[in-house]
Structure 1
Amino acid sequence: MNYLMDSNTYIQAKNLYYDMNFCPAFWDWLEKQFRAGQVMSIDNVYLELTDSNDELSKWAKAHKSHFLPVADKTTQDMFTEIANHVVSLTDKSQADIANFLSKADPWIIAKASTTGATIVTHEALVPPNSKKVKIPNICKQFGVSYINTFELLRKLNAKFVMAN
C-alpha cells in the first residue's frame, strides 16, 4: 500500500466534487486502486465514516476491506510516541489536542509511519504559532509524507471520462 486516505478526503469528495450520484467513476477508481494495493485507509477512519447513516456510510460498510487494522504492535507503539509528542505541545490549545487525539488523525500518522505510506488529507500545514494540531504538522515532525486528493489523482494518473 502506498497511500492512506484521511476521513476528510472521503467526506469532501462525497459532499463536493465527487458526489456519488454524478461521479461514480471516482468511487469505482478507489475500488480499482484498492485492488491494486495502492490506496487504503484504517479502521479508525472507517469508524468515523460509518458513524452516520448516509450514502458514504453505506459505501464504507460495503468496502470494509479497504480499512486496515491498527492493532499491530508497531502501529500501537508509534501511536504512543505521536500521542506523547502531541500532549507535550504546550503552545497548542488543550481542546484541540484532545480533539486531535480522539480522532483517527494520530492513528493514520502512526500507520503511515510504520508502513511507509503517504497520507492523503485535505488538512493544510498551519504556522508554528497556531493553537491547532493538524495532520501535516505532525507528519512533518515524524517524517511522514502527505498529499491531497488532487495530487493523488495526478500521481496515479486517474482519468474520469464520459461515456457516450
Structure 2
Amino acid sequence: MANRYIVDANVFVQGKNFHYDFSFCRGFWDWIEIGHEAGVIFSIRKVRDELLRGKKGDAAREWALAMPDSFFLDDVADLAVMKEYANVIQWAASNQHYKPQAKNDFADANRADAFLLACAKVHGYCIVTQEHHNPEKKVSIPIPTAAIALGNIPTRTIFETLRKHAVPTFMFKR
C-alpha cells in the first residue's frame, strides 16, 4: 500500500457536511494540513476546482482557497499524468459494462475521478475516497472499481486512513 495519499473531493464535501463539520471537528482539517506538511497527504488541482465551484462562504471552498498550492498536485500540467489519463479514459470508453451516461460523466474533464486515478498510477499514490468497490454498478464508475481494473491502484476510505494515521482527539465540552 502506498505511503502517500491523494484525497477525493467527496472526502472534503461529505466531511464538512457530516462527520467533520468545521464547527465541531476542526481537528480533522488540522490533521489533513499536518499530513500535508509531513509530505503524506495531498489532493490534485481538479479536486480543488471542484471545491471552488461551491458557493461563496462554503466551508470546504474557503478551506481549499486557504490551502497552500503544494497541497493540490498538478494533474493537467503533468505530462505523465495526462498520458495515463488518456489510458484511463480509453479504458472507460471501451468498457461495455457501464451505461453511456456513466462513461460520459467519468470522461467529463471538470470531474476529478479519472485524473485521481491517473495521478495515483503514475506517482504511486493511494486514493482516499468515500466510494466503495462495486463491480455490479453500471450507472457510475466507482473509483475503487476502476482502480482495480487499471492495475490495482491502491484506494482506501478516509476512515481506513484515519485508523492508520490518526490518534484519538475528541474531548468533551460543557
Structures share a fold, TM > 0.5?
yes
C-alpha RMSD over aligned residues: 1.6
Q: Which residue of 2 aligns with 1:97?
A: 103
Q: Name the amino acid aligned to 2:39.
A: G
Cα 1:110–1:46 change in 2 (3 A) is same
1:24 paired residue among 23, 26, 50: 26
Unaligned stretches of 5+ residues in structure 2 = none
Q: Name the amino acid aligned to 1:42.
A: I
Q: Which residue of 2 aligns with 1:55?
A: 59
Does structure 1 conserve the Cα–Cα contact (< 8 Å) formed by 2:134 and 2:145? yes
1:75 paired residue among 63, 77, 81: 81
TM-score (norm 1): 0.94
Q: Name the amino acid aligned to 1:98.
A: N
Q: Distance in 1 between matches of 2:137 and 2:52?
A: 34
Q: Secondary structure at the match of 2:130?
A: coil
Deviations 1:17-39 (A, max 9, x none): 11011111111111100000110
Cα offset, 1:125, TM superposition? 1.1
Q: Distance in 1 between matches of 2:6 and 2:80?
A: 17
Q: Secondary structure at the match of 1:17?
A: coil
Q: Secondary structure at the match of 1:40?
A: strand
Q: Distance in 2 between matches of 1:145 and 1:17?
A: 24
Q: Distance in 1 between matches of 2:169 and 2:82?
A: 38
1:162 paired residue among 162, 168, 171: 171
TM-score (norm 2): 0.89
Give the ranges of 4+ consecutive aligned residues of structure 1 lying more than 6 Å apart after TM superposition.
none
In terms of mean alpha carbon deviation, does 24-33 or 131-140 score higher?
A: 131-140
Matched ranges for 1:1-164 at <5 A? 2-52=4-54, 53=56, 54-65=58-69, 66-70=71-75, 71-102=77-108, 103-128=111-136, 130-142=138-150, 143-162=152-171
Cα offset, 1:159, TM superposition? 2.9
Q: Percent identity?
A: 30
Cα offset, 1:89, TM superposition? 1.2
Unaligned stretches of 5+ residues in structure 1 = none
